Amino acid sequence: MRAIRPAVRTSSAALAFGVLLTSGCSLIGSESDTASEPSSSGGASSSAGGTVVLVTHDSFSLPKKLIRSFESDTGYTLEQRALGDAGALTSQLVLNADNPVGDVAFGVDNTFGSRAVDAGVFTPYEGDRPDGVDAYDLPGDDDGDLTPIDNGDVCVNVDTSWFDKQGLTPPETFDDLIDPQYEDLFVTEGATTSSPGFAFLLATIAAKGEDGWQDYWKKLLANGTKVDKGWEDAYYVDFTGGGKGDRPIVTSYDSSPAFTTDGNGGTTTAALLDTCFEQIEYAGVLSGAKNPEGAQAVVDWLLSPAVQKALPTSMYVFPVVDDTPLPKDWASFAKRPTDPWTIDPASVDEHRDQWLQEWTDLVSQ
Amino acid sequence: MTAKRLAGLGALATLPLAVLCVFFVLPVSGMIERGFVADGHLDIGGVLEVFTRSRTHQVLWFTVWSATAATMISVGLGVPVAYVLYRLDFPGRRLVRAALLVPFVLPTVVVGVAFRELLVPSGLLGGLGLDGSKWAIVAGLVFFNASVVIRSVGASWESLDTRPAQAAAALGATPAQVFRTVTLPSLRPAIVSAASVVFLFCATAFGIVLILGGLKYSSVESEIYFQTTVLLDLRAAAALSILQLLAVLVLLVLAGRLRRVPDPTVSRTTAGPRRPRLADAPWLGATALLLGAVALPIGTLVAGSLQVQQADGAQVWGLENYRALSGEGSNAALAVPVTQALSNSLRIAVDATWMSLLLGGLLALVVTRRSRSRAERRVRSVLDGFFMLPLGVSAVTLGFGFLITLDHGVLDLRDSRVLIPLAQALVALPLVVRTLVPVLAGIDDRLRQAAASLGAGPVRAVLTVDLPVVWRPLLAAAGFAFAVSLGEFGATSFLARPDRPTLPVVIYRLLGHPGRPNYGMALAGSVVLALTVALVMLVVERLRVRSLGVI
């Protein structure tokens, strides 16, 4: 018994220490002081209009300064909630259509848009739209549920410096990618596991037809095309222009060349503008929103000049409002396709299951 | 008497049970129900149809195969390493123990990228031709999970009384015989426990399978993710979730059988590690091998985090990536600096740790008390298995389930700040329980009876008898819970608040953007995450009871 006593004392002391430690840096324990944070930064007006909840995908990010100015301009407190990637976001919005998670959603894109619109996730709202926005409306969204916010193209990229060194001409079209000259040089992402991967599949379907793409993909795979899980490992592991890989052709974005500048007024990669698929991201007021006015204010704010200007640097996408200034590198190096491939969103929604099934069968053979 | 005991048992189990029902049973059954009900009526045929698809068989087979292979290798390497790190005394062993928890917190995508950088034809191990093979997947799974075996078997081995083994040796048993007949039976509950946890972790692994397998292989987990988020085919997802639950059930019954030993009582002494001898060479070799295998991908990571791209495109060594962590990424890619994300992560991890220790501790106490009747024993073992379920169920199912079930009245918790630490605590809970149970079960109940007859109340008995013995395993469990929480991404990504991201979430975001500076920062952030967990473990291991007394 004597031997046990000190043990107990030490452990109770350690336990007490643990409790102190816990209460000192717990998140829940400090709820009260973190909760008061917005009001101290936003001033007394910030809670006047109540809270508006913005539901997004996990790539959403805007500078704090912009969020603060939204709050002080409108009197709303903005609360953000991320629900996984664009697919997960759309699925959850559809599942919760009767009892939405928030007031306004951002991040549903043109490949998932019709699923959400058909399920009645959104309620129509067309505010005072600046010039240029209408051009990106979702085909089939006749009531005006969705407001375009940003866009970008998924394009095949090439490492031009690698091709220069090898004395080879880089490919330009889809047909070049199945040319034996470019055998084992292309890496792309899985259509089932990655958003650019799916966009690339859609581009090939648009280019080769609903009955021709399977044959094209067979040739693509026969020519040594590598399929990775996501953009990260395709671009940073296998692509010569992004890491130490050994494949100089990759599926990426039209903005990517703006990030491979060589310091001498050039860039070492280029997007192939005949292989691009356009992605557009939308915002919309959710049906059954508790704060519909606040939700509309968020949509308007996303189209405001300040947010539109911040889109390239914060989310790596292009603004939809005409004449929004671009960052210097973007203006010089992010060349854009004039006529990207598109597929009717309703058709994408109808065939997604079947196309992905066929694609999976081709790739896992 | 029995009724009173059962009532006491129920009272202790109430809190963990309530938490599990609200945050696990409700969401998961909600998701499965959505899959079964089509257009307002029950559609069982539709779900059954999914079971007959050849794709389902293929996916199930691969999941079972890869998880089994990875578990066997993890146990095969982990047990000798546990011996070396917990029974032998050599300089730096505490550091090595802390370092071995590092893989546990590294974000999957970072490890995937680090592995692939080694395995691609142009990489250091490119000659092995493993890139995109199923063995690459198994290696990745072992990388993540070997530490589970090492830590939980080690915690049990550390204070094992060596006298029975010495007695056997004195009676002429060879070292192999001693291990087989004396040591192994005492360790078996811990080994089986660890193996079952590892199996569940492997079977629900998601990112690593797709990244390292290059989409050629698919696991049940990745299939659920795809069916739920991309196709919104809830019927298929529900069918696969049921498959997961069934597999977990089979595993639990199996593990329960294997774990059962005639006499779970184990005599324990103060840990007294000894100097390594020549005979320990093979085990030291296995440790070196495992350490090397763990160090290699981490080395790639560290090297990558120290490489900086200059304006002219040349790569040089430098600390720029680390300096950038206090900023917001190149071109302000982040809403908050990485340092702030780290502080968010730490706060959440502290909460998740105490939650899982509280729930897991209560539960371990409940299931290890000696049963007086068959019925009582059955209740305890069902309880024990019940809390393993969260490990075997998809994070997507759980995350989606949260949103569709916890959405009204007092249960409208979709907005609650408790949700993230609680979800992580649920993931860590089985680890805590599995670490504590073998040790608690090993305490001779007569000690408690003696304490009681000397006048100690139930609380006092726990403090004087159980706590000293369970102290080290409790620390090991706390370490696990903390590491699980720091590294958790699956459930967190469905509940995260973009203005208050955790460090893994920020790392994913940085890796998802082009530009060498973002990549470098993602790697530097991962190294910081790894260092943080190693440091916390070193400190935690210092918190110990000096004297274990006569127990």
Amino acid B264: pLDDT = 66
Inter-chain CB proximity B514 and A88 less than 8 Å: no
Cα A134 from Cα A147, distance rounded (Å): 8
- Which of these, B44, B386, B388, B439, lies nearest to B195 by C-alpha position? B388
Chain B residues inside the 8 Å CB shell of A363: 215-216
- The pTM score is 0.85
Cα B480 from Cα B484, distance rounded (Å): 6
Chain B residues inside the 8 Å CB shell of A364: 215-216
pLDDT mean over B374-385: 80
Inter-chain CB proximity A4 and B509 less than 8 Å: no
With 0-12 / 13-18 / 19 or more C-beta atoms within 10 angstroms meaning exposed / middle / buried, residue B327 is middle
- Per-residue tokens: A39: 């009001």
Cα B434 from Cα B446, distance rounded (Å): 23
| ipTM exceeding 0.85, yes/no | no
Is-same-fold flag (A44-151+279-331; A153-278+337-363)? yes
pLDDT digits (tens, 9 = 90+) for B268-322: 666 677 788 888 888 888 888 888 888 899 998 899 899 887 766 677 888 888 8
The total number of structural domains that make up chain B: 1
Pairing of strands A318-319, A147-159: antiparallel
- Which of these, B418, B408, B428, lies nearest to B482 by C-alpha position? B428
With 0-12 / 13-18 / 19 or more C-beta atoms within 10 angstroms meaning exposed / middle / buried, residue B70 is buried
Cα B356 from Cα B117, distance rounded (Å): 36
Inter-chain CB proximity B232 and A94 less than 8 Å: yes
Inter-chain CB proximity B350 and A25 less than 8 Å: yes
pLDDT mean over B323-329: 77
Residue with tokens 């899985």: A190
pLDDT mean over A339-361: 93
Cα A363 from Cα B283, distance rounded (Å): 43
Partner residue opposite A237 with nearest CB, options B117, B344, B467: B117
Cα A227 from Cα A291, distance rounded (Å): 44
Cα B323 from Cα A22, distance rounded (Å): 29
pLDDT digits (tens, 9 = 90+) for B393-419: 888 888 888 888 887 766 777 767 788
pLDDT digits (tens, 9 = 90+) for B71-103: 999 999 999 999 999 889 888 888 888 888 788
- Look at the domain A153-278+337-363 and name its fold: D-Maltodextrin-Binding Protein; domain 2 (3.40.190)
- Look at the domain A44-151+279-331 and name its fold: D-Maltodextrin-Binding Protein; domain 2 (3.40.190)
Distances (CA, A) of A6 to B128, B445, B452, B547: 56, 22, 19, 7
* Owning domain of residue B177: 2-165+172-266+319-542
Assess if residue B339 is contained within a domain: yes
Beta partners for residue B41, in sequence order? B38
Assess if residue B550 is contained within a domain: no
- Per-residue tokens: A212: 């021709």
CATH number, residue B98:
1.10.3720.10
Q: B463: distance to nearest CA of chain A, Å? A: 7
pLDDT digits (tens, 9 = 90+) for A232-280: 989 999 999 887 789 999 999 999 999 888 878 889 999 999 999 999 9
Inter-chain CB proximity B230 and A8 less than 8 Å: no
Inter-chain CB proximity A96 and B404 less than 8 Å: yes
Partner residue opposite A232 with nearest CB, options B109, B228, B399: B109
Backbone angles phi, psi at A354, to 5 degrees: -65, -45
Q: B171: distance to nearest CA of chain A, Å? A: 32
Amino acid B25: pLDDT = 92
Q: What is the DSSP letter of B325?
A: G
Assess if residue B365 is contained within a domain: yes
Chain A residues inside the 8 Å CB shell of B228: 88, 91
Cα B397 from Cα A244, distance rounded (Å): 37
Is B491:B395 a contact under the CB 8 Å cutoff?
yes
Backbone angles phi, psi at A228, to 5 degrees: -100, 170
Amino acid B329: pLDDT = 60
Domain residue ranges in chain A = 44-151+279-331, 153-278+337-363
